[in-house]
């Protein structure tokens, strides 16, 4: 595996200790297609979201043409140590006038789950949304059985904002979607806690 290192990351937009966000490249299409074939968690409404390299290549090329005013911004989530693409995260339904957007992420490869990469990536996209785009409110929607994501959102400062009843059919019965939102003022408080936790983690690794 090639070694990249922090000073040789490709087009970094937002950087944390272990992951960084960058624009997608056409070469990422193969990685995304392979990851789409992994079994997803049981809470996913439709199971695996299968895609071919050609389909993802077309999607990435479409992203090249998009601007923040088009309502969608997507980034590749990569490891700082070797530039490996491990997922994607972004903002959808971006409304720059009213300062609102919705977050979404995609980490299908189980090798990169439950290791905190998703939390780091979420911190970066929130920093991008509130600091770079000057948004005021971020929305996140999870399928009701997705208790893990709901708990993570609460830890990040999100608060319950509503429930969409009977929004998806799974296992023969309808499930609800849970809506959470995060305001800029709540994010500022969470950001300081996050930075303190990361500093303690770094000191622990150096000890």
Q: What is the pLDDT of residues 138-174, one digit of tens each?
A: 999 988 888 888 888 888 889 999 999 877 776 677 8
CA distance 32 to 50: 10
CATH architecture, domain 6-206 = 3-Layer(aba) Sandwich (3.40)
Residue-level pLDDT at 7: 54
pLDDT at 4 over 80: no
pLDDT at 23 over 90: yes
Mean pLDDT is lowest, of 8-12, 39-43, 62-66, 83-87, for 39-43
CA distance 28 to 25: 5
pLDDT at 191 over 90: no
CA distance 102 to 178: 13
CB 32 within 8 A of CB 55: no
Q: Give the pair of three-digit tokens for residue 21.
A: 């966000």
> What is the greatest pairwise CA distance in the chain?
53
**Mean pLDDT over the full length of the chain:** 83
**At 188, which helix (H) or strand (E)?**
helix 184-206
pTM attached to this predicted model: 0.83
Q: What is the pLDDT of residues 91-150, one digit of tens each?
A: 999 999 999 999 988 887 778 888 889 889 999 999 999 999 999 999 999 888 888 888
């Amino acid at each position: 595996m090639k070694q990249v290192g922090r000073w040789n990351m490709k087009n970094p937009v937002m950087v944390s200790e272990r992951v960084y966000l960058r624009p997608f490249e056409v070469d990422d299409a193969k990685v995304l297609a392979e990851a789409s074939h992994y079994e997803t968690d049981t809470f996913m409404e439709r199971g695996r979201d299968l895609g071919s390299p050609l389909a993802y290549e077309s999607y990435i090329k479409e992203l090249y043409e998009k601007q923040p005013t088009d309502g969608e911004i997507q980034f590749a989530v990569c490891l700082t140590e070797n530039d490996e693409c491990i997922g994607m995260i972004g903002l959808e339904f971006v409304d720059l006038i009213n300062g609102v957007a919705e977050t979404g992420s995609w980490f299908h490869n189980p090798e990169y789950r439950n290791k905190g990469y998703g939390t780091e990536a979420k911190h970066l996209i929130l920093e991008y949304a509130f600091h770079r785009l000057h948004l005021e409110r971020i929305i996140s929607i999870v399928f009701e059985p997705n208790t893990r994501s709901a708990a993570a959102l609460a830890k990040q400062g999100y608060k319950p904002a509503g429930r969409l009843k009977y929004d998806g059919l799974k296992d023969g019965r309808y499930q609800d979607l849970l809506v959470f939102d995060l305001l800029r003022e709540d994010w500022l408080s969470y950001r300081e806690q996050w930075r303190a936790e990361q500093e303690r983690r770094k000191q622990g690794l150096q000890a």
